[in-house]
Amino acid sequence: MNLALRRREADRPALRSAAEIAQLRRSNRLARRVVAELGAAIAPDVTTRQLDTLARRLTDEAGARAAFYQYKVGQKVYPDYLCASVNDEVVHGIPNDRPLQPGDVVSLDYGCVLDGWIGDTAFTWCVGEPSPTAAHLLDVTREALRLGIAAAQPGRRVFDIAKAVQDHVEANGCGVVRQLVGHGVGRRLHEPPQVPNFAAIESRRDRLRPGMVICIEPMITAGSYEVNERSDGWTIATRDGSLAAHFEHAVVILSDGPEILSLPDAI
């Protein structure tokens, strides 16, 4: 689940100990395993409501709890375990009873809490054979995540992650959502710093230091970067109706470079 971009005074990101990083590695690997099992269940006529039910079962069986369920933003309360966004929906899609159809683009964002530590990850699939537009979008978004992680080096700044993502995406004719950003993660789902996917001036103030744990999560469109919030109060969709994709890893900054906590990457 993403954080809305907001202007703020500089926050101080937590620097995690080796023991805390080990806990975050466990929670994020669990999140990735759940997302992988959800992805394997995607097929024509399956509903995102059924995927949410599966997420509930897998979370309970692992002895964890949901990070998104009953999450509050102002007066809003998120109703489900899973964010399931289809086609022009970018993020925060509420699971429903619409059967998935061949060609649909499905983004699943899932978070869990294991022994008090958050796991948060996302992946996007196509139901069956993707259209050329969908295949290009998924390739661009997945590579943008890889490049963003590669830029997450100690001593550099969050700005460098954002610029690496934006440069790649826009060079390949896609749009970078501005209204939502990645975030730090630890005992809370949203911690400092904010991690935008575009070169926001605010991100220059946040230097990457060993022990920081952040969620890097490109939210990319096949058309315009402009988005709207739908009437349910949660779902963010492209304004022009173009397809969207979302990939996310939790990453810890170490003295010798970034480590992806939400492995395995291959799903």
- Give rounded-to-5 percent helix, strand, coil for the chain: 30, 30, 40
Place 81 in a pLDDT band, splitting at 50, 70 and 90. very high
DSSP 256: T
Alpha-carbon span 174 to 143, nearest angstrom: 12
Token pair 């992806």 is at which residue? 260
With CA atoms as reference, report the closest residue to 34 among 100, 117, 122: 122
* Domains in the chain with CATH codes: 3-260 (3.90.230.10)
pLDDT at 10 > cutoff 60: no
d(CA 168, CA 124): 18
Above pLDDT 90, what percent of the chain? 93
pTM here is 0.96
The residues that bridge with 52 in the sheet, in sequence order, are: none
pLDDT digits (tens, 9 = 90+) for 11-47: 789 999 999 999 999 999 999 999 999 999 999 999 9
